[in-house]
Chains A and B, each alone.
Chain A
Amino acid sequence: MHWTRWGAAGHGPAAAAILLVAGASVSAGFAQQAPPAPAAQPARFVVVIDAAHGGDDTGGHLNDGQLEKTANLAFSVRLRSLLSARGIQVVTTREADQSLVPDQRAEVADHARAQACISLHAAETGSGVHLFVSSLAPSSAARFMPWKTAQSGWVTRSLGLAGVLNSALTHAGTTVTLGRTALPGIDSMACPAVVIELAPERDADKKTISEPDDAKYQATIAATLAGAILEWRADEGRTAARQP
């Protein structure tokens, strides 16, 4: 069976972590005398952006004849630029038209030990933005997780991330639909993971205003998502500060 490991990478950091835990245990008796630690954001905050499909895997055909893989890559580049401009470290699974299998995408995400993993898709049906979280049942995260169901330990946080993205998009006036799905790449990611499927922008009569590969439409959605991820970073910081 293929397993994935999360947490400290390598023996050096692992040893350091053990020392830290031991140190914390020793000093626990003095915790009441020590001043409360100030709330701080986590030292590192990494976002993985996965532009779905690529290479021979073209994905779907959009209504204007464009390939889904091209729209996904353009959206990935836009979102990466906006996040980098806000000081967030971004790791992308692909920067060009290259073919990747789902396991390779999950490996990139798991090695990055990211605080948010975003898989980008585009669709010709529906409207607005479709947010999906893995349909795996939640379980407690362990040091070693089965490869195919690694996401089960993170589903609760993935739902939290989807909630933050949903709030931001809805507040910006975007139509959002939420769902659960089974995707091999996402199910193997050991991070809060959300699939974002960009569908055409439609008016009240269901007439298409913008296709998913429209540059202006993508830029608007990417800006909203970047703001939401900043909020997610702040939430993660508050959560980290609350933990002993």
Chain B
Amino acid sequence: MISRAQTVLLVLLVLASLIMGVMLFRMRERAHQRLLTGQDSAPTQAPAVTAPVQATLMVANDDDNSLRGQLYSLPLPADPGARARAVLGKLLDLYAAQDSNHPIAGGAASVAQVFLLPAEGAGSKPGSAGGAAAELAVVNLKGSFVVSHPSGLETETLTVLSICGTLHANLPRVTQVRFLVDGEVRPSLAGHADLTRTYLTSDAVPVDPNTP
């Protein structure tokens, strides 16, 4: 038999539980409202929209082993390193497209960084940079891009030359290009194109399909 005191205690506990449940529900509602209010009133700044500029991409074509300059209107950052990465990203996006004549998986995310350094030795005298100091671009590619790159002398050479040509077309002070893969020197791109050497951007002139 339950005593009167125990019954009263049980009723009080049930009441307390109900009151606490109601309070928790109301506190949750208030916190949610506070969160929404905070989001609305957060001091946000609209991103500065860069005006699109003309960028020249040297696009490779496996069918005739050629590089052809194509003009694109792209919003490019002012910082030269970020600009170089952006144009290379667009170039590799073209190669990742389904109807590409130079198919390579990966796209823009395949370029980890592009560093610009003062150039030394052969090719350090810029031809069209108005006497400004020539630069060496160090392109750090991601390992996933190299692993998925098709193997072959033609396709690998075209990839390297199209990157060199695109960099020089948009940053004329870049006269030399070196490649890293995940931050390290790698012997070749996919078994053929030599990645240990410094490429001169003058090597990336459009290939005339009629002459070797």
Contacts and interface: CB of A to CB of B under 8 A. Distances in A.
Interface of A: 53, 57, 59-61, 68, 121-127, 130-133, 135, 159, 162-163, 166, 177-184, 195, 197, 199, 206
Contacts of B157: 132, 179, 181
Given A131-B212, A162-B212, A121 B153 contact: yes
A159 B210 CA distance: 12
B170 interface: no
A171 to B, nearest CB: 15
Contact of B154 (A53, A130, A163, A183): A130
Contacts, number: 90
Nearest to A68: B151
B211 interface: yes
Contact of B151 (A60, A163, A166): A60
Most chain A beta-carbon neighbours within 10 Å: one of B192, B207, B209: B192
B153 A123 contact: yes
B29 to A, nearest CB: 61
A123 B155 contact: yes
Contacts of A60: 150-152, 190-192
Interface of B: 62-65, 103, 150-155, 157, 190-194, 197, 199, 203, 207, 209-212
B211 A177 contact: no
A159 B150 CA distance: 27
Contacts of A57: 191
B191 A130 contact: no
Contact of B193 (A163, A181, A197): A181
Contacts of B199: 182
B192 A126 contact: no
Given A60-B190, A121-B192, A126 B212 contact: no
